Amino acid sequence: MLRTLLILLLLAATPALAGGMLVEKREFVTEDFTTFGGETIPEVRVGWEAYGELNAARDNVILVTHFFSGTSHAAGRYHPDDNEPGYWDAIIGPGKAIDTDRFYVVSVDTLANANVHDEHVITTGPATINPETGEPWGLDFPVVTIRDFVEVQKRLLDSLGIERLHAVIGASMGSFQALEWAVAYPERVERMVSVIGGGRMHAWEIARLEHWANPIRLDPDWRGGDYYGHERPIEGLTASLMLITQDALHPDFFEMQFPDHRNLPAEALESLDGGFAVTDWLREQARQRATVSDANHVLYLTRASQLFVAGHGDDLAGAVDRVKARTLFLPAGGDLLLRPALAQEAHELLVRAGKDSGLVRLDGKMGHLDGVTAIDQAADRLSIFLGE
Protein backbone atom coordinates (compact mmCIF):
# COMPACT_ATOMS: atom_id res chain seq x y z
CA MET A 1 0.00 0.00 0.00
CA LEU A 2 1.23 3.46 -0.80
CA ARG A 3 0.40 6.51 1.26
CA THR A 4 0.06 8.85 -1.73
CA LEU A 5 -2.72 6.69 -3.16
CA LEU A 6 -4.36 6.41 0.25
CA ILE A 7 -4.32 10.18 0.68
CA LEU A 8 -5.98 10.71 -2.70
CA LEU A 9 -8.68 8.19 -1.89
CA LEU A 10 -9.27 9.59 1.58
CA LEU A 11 -9.50 13.12 0.23
CA ALA A 12 -12.07 12.00 -2.31
CA ALA A 13 -14.10 10.22 0.34
CA THR A 14 -13.96 12.92 3.03
CA PRO A 15 -16.48 15.76 2.64
CA ALA A 16 -14.63 18.27 4.83
CA LEU A 17 -10.97 18.30 5.83
CA ALA A 18 -10.93 21.43 7.96
CA GLY A 19 -10.56 21.08 11.71
CA GLY A 20 -9.98 17.81 13.45
CA MET A 21 -7.16 16.78 15.75
CA LEU A 22 -3.76 18.42 15.52
CA VAL A 23 -0.88 16.07 16.34
CA GLU A 24 2.87 16.23 16.63
CA LYS A 25 5.59 13.73 15.95
CA ARG A 26 7.56 12.77 19.04
CA GLU A 27 10.85 10.89 19.31
CA PHE A 28 11.74 7.89 21.42
CA VAL A 29 15.35 6.80 21.87
CA THR A 30 16.52 3.52 23.39
CA GLU A 31 19.94 1.89 23.57
CA ASP A 32 21.43 -1.58 23.26
CA PHE A 33 18.47 -3.14 21.52
CA THR A 34 18.90 -6.86 20.86
CA THR A 35 17.00 -8.19 17.87
CA PHE A 36 15.16 -11.49 17.68
CA GLY A 37 18.11 -12.76 15.62
CA GLY A 38 20.52 -11.94 18.44
CA GLU A 39 22.21 -8.84 16.97
CA THR A 40 22.59 -5.59 18.92
CA ILE A 41 21.64 -2.14 17.65
CA PRO A 42 23.45 0.35 19.89
CA GLU A 43 20.84 3.09 19.47
CA VAL A 44 17.28 2.99 18.18
CA ARG A 45 15.37 6.16 17.39
CA VAL A 46 11.71 5.98 16.33
CA GLY A 47 8.92 8.51 15.94
CA TRP A 48 5.57 8.18 17.63
CA GLU A 49 2.25 9.98 17.87
CA ALA A 50 -0.46 10.04 20.50
CA TYR A 51 -4.12 11.08 20.39
CA GLY A 52 -6.31 11.71 23.43
CA GLU A 53 -5.24 11.80 27.07
CA LEU A 54 -3.63 9.14 29.24
CA ASN A 55 -5.75 8.61 32.36
CA ALA A 56 -4.35 8.44 35.89
CA ALA A 57 -4.56 4.66 35.99
CA ARG A 58 -2.76 4.42 32.63
CA ASP A 59 -5.23 1.75 31.53
CA ASN A 60 -7.01 3.49 28.64
CA VAL A 61 -4.31 2.88 26.03
CA ILE A 62 -4.93 1.61 22.50
CA LEU A 63 -1.84 0.85 20.42
CA VAL A 64 -2.22 1.24 16.64
CA THR A 65 0.40 -0.60 14.58
CA HIS A 66 0.92 0.48 10.99
CA PHE A 67 1.09 -1.27 7.62
CA PHE A 68 4.09 -1.92 5.34
CA SER A 69 4.36 1.49 3.65
CA GLY A 70 2.67 3.38 6.47
CA THR A 71 3.93 5.47 9.35
CA SER A 72 2.80 6.34 12.85
CA HIS A 73 0.56 9.05 11.37
CA ALA A 74 -2.65 7.16 12.06
CA ALA A 75 -4.97 10.13 12.57
CA GLY A 76 -5.23 13.90 12.74
CA ARG A 77 -3.14 16.52 10.94
CA TYR A 78 0.19 18.15 11.66
CA HIS A 79 -1.12 21.71 11.16
CA PRO A 80 -4.52 23.35 10.45
CA ASP A 81 -3.92 23.58 6.69
CA ASP A 82 -2.59 20.04 6.37
CA ASN A 83 -4.41 18.17 3.60
CA GLU A 84 -3.00 14.79 4.60
CA PRO A 85 -5.04 13.22 7.42
CA GLY A 86 -3.73 10.14 9.16
CA TYR A 87 -4.68 6.97 7.32
CA TRP A 88 -7.33 5.87 9.87
CA ASP A 89 -8.68 9.33 10.60
CA ALA A 90 -12.15 7.97 9.82
CA ILE A 91 -12.16 5.84 12.98
CA ILE A 92 -9.72 7.60 15.36
CA GLY A 93 -10.81 10.83 17.05
CA PRO A 94 -13.39 12.37 19.40
CA GLY A 95 -16.63 10.41 19.23
CA LYS A 96 -15.29 7.98 16.61
CA ALA A 97 -14.96 4.21 16.87
CA ILE A 98 -11.59 4.60 18.58
CA ASP A 99 -12.79 7.46 20.74
CA THR A 100 -10.00 9.80 21.82
CA ASP A 101 -12.36 11.35 24.40
CA ARG A 102 -12.01 8.01 26.17
CA PHE A 103 -8.82 6.38 24.93
CA TYR A 104 -5.16 7.34 24.73
CA VAL A 105 -4.10 6.14 21.29
CA VAL A 106 -0.42 5.54 20.53
CA SER A 107 1.23 4.75 17.20
CA VAL A 108 4.94 4.18 16.51
CA ASP A 109 7.13 4.29 13.38
CA THR A 110 8.64 0.84 12.76
CA LEU A 111 12.29 0.03 12.53
CA ALA A 112 13.49 0.33 8.90
CA ASN A 113 10.40 2.37 8.06
CA ALA A 114 10.06 2.59 4.29
CA ASN A 115 9.52 6.38 4.40
CA VAL A 116 12.87 7.23 6.00
CA HIS A 117 13.21 10.40 3.87
CA ASP A 118 9.82 11.76 4.92
CA GLU A 119 10.27 14.73 7.26
CA HIS A 120 7.57 13.32 9.52
CA VAL A 121 9.22 9.91 9.98
CA ILE A 122 11.83 8.98 12.58
CA THR A 123 13.27 5.50 12.20
CA THR A 124 16.45 3.47 12.54
CA GLY A 125 17.47 1.29 9.63
CA PRO A 126 19.95 0.77 6.79
CA ALA A 127 19.79 4.40 5.62
CA THR A 128 20.41 5.88 9.07
CA ILE A 129 23.77 6.42 10.72
CA ASN A 130 25.43 3.67 12.71
CA PRO A 131 26.74 5.63 15.73
CA GLU A 132 29.72 3.29 16.00
CA THR A 133 30.97 4.02 12.48
CA GLY A 134 29.51 7.42 11.62
CA GLU A 135 28.32 5.96 8.30
CA PRO A 136 24.95 4.63 7.10
CA TRP A 137 24.30 1.10 8.28
CA GLY A 138 23.63 -0.32 4.82
CA LEU A 139 23.27 -4.09 4.84
CA ASP A 140 25.26 -4.27 8.09
CA PHE A 141 21.95 -3.41 9.75
CA PRO A 142 20.58 -6.58 11.37
CA VAL A 143 17.65 -8.40 9.82
CA VAL A 144 14.62 -7.35 11.83
CA THR A 145 11.33 -9.12 12.46
CA ILE A 146 7.79 -8.27 13.46
CA ARG A 147 8.75 -9.27 17.02
CA ASP A 148 11.44 -6.56 16.95
CA PHE A 149 8.85 -3.93 16.04
CA VAL A 150 6.78 -5.09 19.02
CA GLU A 151 9.78 -4.96 21.36
CA VAL A 152 10.57 -1.36 20.39
CA GLN A 153 6.93 -0.44 21.02
CA LYS A 154 7.09 -2.21 24.38
CA ARG A 155 10.14 -0.19 25.39
CA LEU A 156 8.32 3.03 24.52
CA LEU A 157 5.22 2.02 26.49
CA ASP A 158 7.37 0.94 29.44
CA SER A 159 9.01 4.38 29.43
CA LEU A 160 5.53 5.91 29.74
CA GLY A 161 4.59 3.65 32.64
CA ILE A 162 1.99 1.80 30.54
CA GLU A 163 1.73 -1.83 31.62
CA ARG A 164 -1.52 -2.91 29.96
CA LEU A 165 -3.20 -2.24 26.65
CA HIS A 166 -6.95 -1.85 26.42
CA ALA A 167 -6.44 -2.93 22.80
CA VAL A 168 -3.90 -3.24 20.04
CA ILE A 169 -5.12 -2.86 16.47
CA GLY A 170 -3.32 -2.86 13.15
CA ALA A 171 -3.79 -3.34 9.43
CA SER A 172 -1.76 -5.60 7.13
CA MET A 173 1.83 -5.69 8.49
CA GLY A 174 0.32 -3.85 11.45
CA SER A 175 -2.03 -6.80 12.02
CA PHE A 176 1.01 -9.04 12.37
CA GLN A 177 2.32 -6.76 15.11
CA ALA A 178 -1.06 -6.70 16.84
CA LEU A 179 -1.31 -10.49 16.99
CA GLU A 180 2.35 -10.78 17.99
CA TRP A 181 1.63 -8.49 20.95
CA ALA A 182 -1.22 -10.77 22.07
CA VAL A 183 0.99 -13.86 21.77
CA ALA A 184 4.22 -12.46 23.22
CA TYR A 185 2.64 -10.48 26.07
CA PRO A 186 -0.74 -12.10 26.77
CA GLU A 187 -1.01 -10.57 30.26
CA ARG A 188 -0.67 -7.06 28.86
CA VAL A 189 -3.23 -7.17 26.03
CA GLU A 190 -6.99 -7.15 26.71
CA ARG A 191 -8.21 -6.93 23.09
CA MET A 192 -6.62 -7.51 19.70
CA VAL A 193 -7.94 -6.42 16.31
CA SER A 194 -6.35 -7.79 13.15
CA VAL A 195 -7.35 -5.93 9.98
CA ILE A 196 -6.49 -7.47 6.57
CA GLY A 197 -3.99 -9.80 8.21
CA GLY A 198 -3.40 -13.31 9.43
CA GLY A 199 -1.39 -15.51 11.76
CA ARG A 200 1.45 -16.35 9.43
CA MET A 201 2.77 -15.95 5.92
CA HIS A 202 2.25 -18.98 3.70
CA ALA A 203 4.47 -20.05 0.80
CA TRP A 204 2.36 -18.12 -1.73
CA GLU A 205 2.64 -14.85 0.17
CA ILE A 206 6.38 -15.29 0.74
CA ALA A 207 6.95 -15.85 -2.98
CA ARG A 208 4.72 -12.92 -3.88
CA LEU A 209 6.68 -10.53 -1.67
CA GLU A 210 9.95 -11.74 -3.17
CA HIS A 211 8.81 -10.07 -6.40
CA TRP A 212 8.86 -6.76 -4.51
CA ALA A 213 12.53 -7.27 -3.69
CA ASN A 214 13.75 -8.45 -7.12
CA PRO A 215 13.63 -5.14 -9.05
CA ILE A 216 15.73 -3.44 -6.39
CA ARG A 217 18.36 -6.18 -6.39
CA LEU A 218 18.51 -6.10 -10.22
CA ASP A 219 19.11 -2.33 -10.38
CA PRO A 220 22.88 -1.83 -10.95
CA ASP A 221 22.70 1.29 -8.80
CA TRP A 222 21.78 -0.90 -5.82
CA ARG A 223 25.45 -1.96 -5.63
CA GLY A 224 24.69 -4.87 -3.34
CA GLY A 225 23.01 -2.48 -0.91
CA ASP A 226 26.08 -0.22 -0.68
CA TYR A 227 24.72 2.79 -2.59
CA TYR A 228 24.83 5.46 0.11
CA GLY A 229 26.98 8.29 -1.19
CA HIS A 230 26.19 7.18 -4.77
CA GLU A 231 23.18 7.29 -7.07
CA ARG A 232 20.15 5.74 -5.41
CA PRO A 233 18.57 2.71 -7.16
CA ILE A 234 15.51 4.74 -8.11
CA GLU A 235 14.48 2.65 -11.11
CA GLY A 236 14.49 -0.58 -9.13
CA LEU A 237 12.72 1.07 -6.20
CA THR A 238 10.09 2.53 -8.52
CA ALA A 239 9.45 -0.85 -10.13
CA SER A 240 9.15 -2.42 -6.67
CA LEU A 241 6.66 0.20 -5.52
CA MET A 242 4.62 -0.32 -8.70
CA LEU A 243 4.25 -3.99 -7.79
CA ILE A 244 3.35 -3.17 -4.20
CA THR A 245 0.66 -0.74 -5.36
CA GLN A 246 -0.89 -3.21 -7.79
CA ASP A 247 -0.80 -6.09 -5.32
CA ALA A 248 -2.61 -3.93 -2.75
CA LEU A 249 -5.52 -3.31 -5.12
CA HIS A 250 -8.24 -5.42 -6.73
CA PRO A 251 -8.86 -5.71 -10.51
CA ASP A 252 -12.23 -4.01 -9.97
CA PHE A 253 -10.39 -0.86 -8.89
CA PHE A 254 -8.51 -0.72 -12.17
CA GLU A 255 -11.74 -1.17 -14.11
CA MET A 256 -13.22 1.81 -12.21
CA GLN A 257 -10.07 3.92 -12.48
CA PHE A 258 -9.62 3.29 -16.22
CA PRO A 259 -13.10 2.78 -17.70
CA ASP A 260 -11.86 3.87 -21.14
CA HIS A 261 -8.84 1.58 -21.14
CA ARG A 262 -7.52 0.90 -24.63
CA ASN A 263 -5.65 -2.23 -25.59
CA LEU A 264 -4.13 -0.67 -28.70
CA PRO A 265 -3.01 2.89 -27.88
CA ALA A 266 -0.94 4.51 -30.61
CA GLU A 267 1.97 5.09 -28.23
CA ALA A 268 2.23 1.40 -27.42
CA LEU A 269 2.13 0.46 -31.09
CA GLU A 270 4.83 2.93 -32.04
CA SER A 271 7.41 2.09 -29.40
CA LEU A 272 8.18 -0.27 -26.57
CA ASP A 273 8.69 2.86 -24.50
CA GLY A 274 5.15 4.03 -25.14
CA GLY A 275 2.88 3.09 -22.27
CA PHE A 276 -0.69 2.41 -21.34
CA ALA A 277 -2.63 4.80 -19.14
CA VAL A 278 -2.73 2.26 -16.32
CA THR A 279 1.02 1.57 -16.34
CA ASP A 280 1.79 5.29 -16.59
CA TRP A 281 -0.43 5.87 -13.56
CA LEU A 282 1.21 3.10 -11.55
CA ARG A 283 4.67 4.42 -12.42
CA GLU A 284 3.79 7.97 -11.40
CA GLN A 285 2.37 6.80 -8.07
CA ALA A 286 5.54 4.82 -7.46
CA ARG A 287 7.89 7.64 -8.45
CA GLN A 288 6.21 9.96 -5.95
CA ARG A 289 6.70 7.42 -3.17
CA ALA A 290 10.29 6.73 -4.22
CA THR A 291 11.26 10.30 -3.31
CA VAL A 292 10.70 9.57 0.40
CA SER A 293 11.43 5.83 0.41
CA ASP A 294 14.66 3.89 0.63
CA ALA A 295 15.35 0.73 -1.35
CA ASN A 296 17.13 -1.12 1.45
CA HIS A 297 14.36 -0.25 3.88
CA VAL A 298 11.82 -1.79 1.49
CA LEU A 299 13.96 -4.94 1.38
CA TYR A 300 14.16 -5.13 5.17
CA LEU A 301 10.39 -4.69 5.59
CA THR A 302 9.82 -7.31 2.91
CA ARG A 303 12.00 -9.79 4.79
CA ALA A 304 10.34 -8.97 8.15
CA SER A 305 6.95 -9.67 6.57
CA GLN A 306 8.12 -12.88 4.88
CA LEU A 307 9.45 -14.18 8.21
CA PHE A 308 6.21 -13.64 10.09
CA VAL A 309 4.50 -16.36 12.06
CA ALA A 310 2.81 -15.43 15.31
CA GLY A 311 5.03 -16.40 18.23
CA HIS A 312 8.05 -16.61 15.91
CA GLY A 313 8.25 -20.37 16.22
CA ASP A 314 7.09 -23.39 14.23
CA ASP A 315 3.78 -23.96 16.03
CA LEU A 316 1.08 -21.41 15.17
CA ALA A 317 -1.61 -23.33 17.10
CA GLY A 318 0.58 -23.41 20.18
CA ALA A 319 1.36 -19.72 19.81
CA VAL A 320 -2.26 -18.55 19.65
CA ASP A 321 -3.10 -20.83 22.56
CA ARG A 322 -1.13 -18.36 24.70
CA VAL A 323 -3.47 -15.50 23.76
CA LYS A 324 -5.66 -14.21 26.59
CA ALA A 325 -7.08 -11.22 24.71
CA ARG A 326 -10.48 -11.12 23.08
CA THR A 327 -9.77 -11.01 19.35
CA LEU A 328 -11.48 -9.65 16.26
CA PHE A 329 -10.41 -10.27 12.66
CA LEU A 330 -11.46 -7.94 9.84
CA PRO A 331 -10.29 -9.40 6.51
CA ALA A 332 -11.23 -7.81 3.19
CA GLY A 333 -13.27 -10.10 0.97
CA GLY A 334 -11.46 -9.00 -2.19
CA ASP A 335 -7.94 -9.06 -0.74
CA LEU A 336 -5.54 -10.71 -3.19
CA LEU A 337 -2.41 -9.88 -1.18
CA LEU A 338 -3.19 -11.25 2.28
CA ARG A 339 -6.03 -13.59 1.43
CA PRO A 340 -9.03 -13.75 3.81
CA ALA A 341 -8.09 -17.39 4.40
CA LEU A 342 -5.09 -16.21 6.43
CA ALA A 343 -7.32 -14.40 8.92
CA GLN A 344 -9.76 -17.31 8.89
CA GLU A 345 -6.96 -19.72 9.80
CA ALA A 346 -5.86 -17.70 12.84
CA HIS A 347 -9.46 -17.09 13.93
CA GLU A 348 -10.36 -20.80 13.73
CA LEU A 349 -7.25 -21.82 15.68
CA LEU A 350 -8.23 -19.39 18.43
CA VAL A 351 -11.81 -20.70 18.51
CA ARG A 352 -10.58 -24.31 18.71
CA ALA A 353 -8.39 -23.29 21.63
CA GLY A 354 -11.49 -21.99 23.42
CA LYS A 355 -10.67 -18.31 22.92
CA ASP A 356 -13.14 -15.48 22.37
CA SER A 357 -12.64 -14.58 18.71
CA GLY A 358 -14.81 -12.96 16.06
CA LEU A 359 -14.45 -12.40 12.33
CA VAL A 360 -16.25 -9.90 10.08
CA ARG A 361 -15.42 -9.40 6.40
CA LEU A 362 -15.04 -5.96 4.85
CA ASP A 363 -16.66 -5.38 1.47
CA GLY A 364 -15.42 -3.16 -1.33
CA LYS A 365 -13.58 -2.98 -4.63
CA MET A 366 -10.19 -1.84 -3.34
CA GLY A 367 -8.85 -5.27 -2.44
CA HIS A 368 -6.24 -5.14 0.33
CA LEU A 369 -6.71 -1.38 0.61
CA ASP A 370 -10.30 -1.89 1.80
CA GLY A 371 -8.70 -2.40 5.20
CA VAL A 372 -7.86 1.31 5.19
CA THR A 373 -10.28 3.09 2.87
CA ALA A 374 -13.34 1.04 3.89
CA ILE A 375 -12.53 0.66 7.57
CA ASP A 376 -15.52 2.85 8.48
CA GLN A 377 -17.70 -0.17 7.55
CA ALA A 378 -16.51 -1.74 10.78
CA ALA A 379 -16.82 1.42 12.90
CA ASP A 380 -19.88 0.25 14.85
CA ARG A 381 -18.44 -3.23 15.37
CA LEU A 382 -15.15 -1.75 16.56
CA SER A 383 -16.90 0.64 18.90
CA ILE A 384 -18.86 -2.21 20.49
CA PHE A 385 -15.80 -4.45 20.68
CA LEU A 386 -13.71 -1.76 22.38
CA GLY A 387 -16.52 -0.92 24.76
CA GLU A 388 -17.34 -4.44 25.89
User: Known catalytic residues?
Assistant: 172, 335, 368
DSSP reduced 3-state for 104: strand
Environment class of 203 (CB within 10 Å of its CB; exposed 0-12, middle 13-18, buried 19+): exposed
Give the Cα separation of 224 and 363 in Å (integer): 42
Q: Tell me the one-letter amino acid at 236.
A: G
Please say whether the beta carbons of 118 and 69 come within 8 A: no
- Strand-pair category, 61-65 with 104-108: parallel
DSSP 337-382: SS-HHHHHHHHHHHHHTT--EEE-PBP-SSGGGHHHHTGGGGHHHH
286, containing H or E segment: helix 277-290
For the CA atoms of the chain, what is the radius of gyration?
20
In sequence order, which residues have a C-beta less than 8 Å from that of residue 387 and are 6 or more positions away? none
CA distance 209 to 213: 7
Q: Provide the 10 A C-beta neighbour count for residue 194.
A: 32
